[in-house]
Amino acid sequence: MNFIEVNAEQAPLQLLYEADPNPDKVASYLPRCRIIVAVEDGNQVGVAALLPHRVGEWELINLAVSPDYQKKGIGATLLEYVIDWTRAQKGYYLGLGTGTFGYQLAFYQRAGFRVERVIRNFFLDHYPHPVWEAGIQHQDMLWLGLKL
Ligand SMILES: CC(C)(COP(=O)(O)OP(=O)(O)OC[C@H]1O[C@@H](n2cnc3c(N)ncnc32)[C@H](O)[C@@H]1OP(=O)(O)O)[C@@H](O)C(=O)NCCC(=O)NCCS
């Protein structure tokens, strides 16, 4: 697998929508992001969008692996690459928002992320349609952070 950086026009939108089902929201942050694509055998199998905040502080605002390629370790490898990439930008902090339940929470904590706060009603306030997973409606967001 190799990793390439692309601009917003070249970004794999369908992949980004796997992690964030609100196209308007994706369009609002994508032009401000650095975008990394994971490529395997010529296929775009994963994507990460990194949004800069204050100097040295980055948000991993979108991370997704193509459904056909999930559960093969690509997400963990891409996340490690993103962490190293952020360090290489002289970043000292990487944060992200995720749901309050689900395998993603373990996935990020395994990479060292810690829960920092709860953003109540985030999924109710920012998404036009209810977001369901495992028969539960997402309501609140957890903010996770990794000090680099
Ligand atoms: C989260 C995501 C990027 C992980 O990528 P991945 O390539 O599947 O991850 P990995 O193969 O490295 O697996 C990481 C762990 O998550 C688990 N996992 C991945 N997908 C899962 C699923 N759908 N259900 C349950 N567990 C899952 C894996 O089993 C693995 O755990 P293990 O090591 O104990 O077996 C990917 O599942 C994805 O794109 N999901 C949809 C978008 C999304 O939710 N993005 C995150 C937004 S916060």
CATH of residue 34:
3.40.630.30
Strand partners, 146: 94
Comparing CA positions, the residue from 20, 90, 22, 100 lying closest to residue 58 is: 90
- pLDDT class of 57 with cuts at 50, 70, 90: very high
> What is the distance in A from the centroid of ligand 1 to the CA of 126?
23
* pLDDT 10s digits, 85-131: 999 999 999 999 999 999 999 999 999 999 999 999 999 999 889 99
Confidence band for 15, pLDDT divided at 50, 70 and 90:
very high
Q: In 3D, which of 78, 53, 80 has the Cα closest to residue 65?
A: 78
Structural domain of residue 92, as residue ranges?
Answer: 2-147
Residue to mutate, 60, 63, 71, ligand 1, most ligand atoms under 8 Å from C-beta = 71
Number of folded domains that form the chain: 1
For residue 21, what pLDDT band results from cuts at 50, 70 and 90? Answer: confident
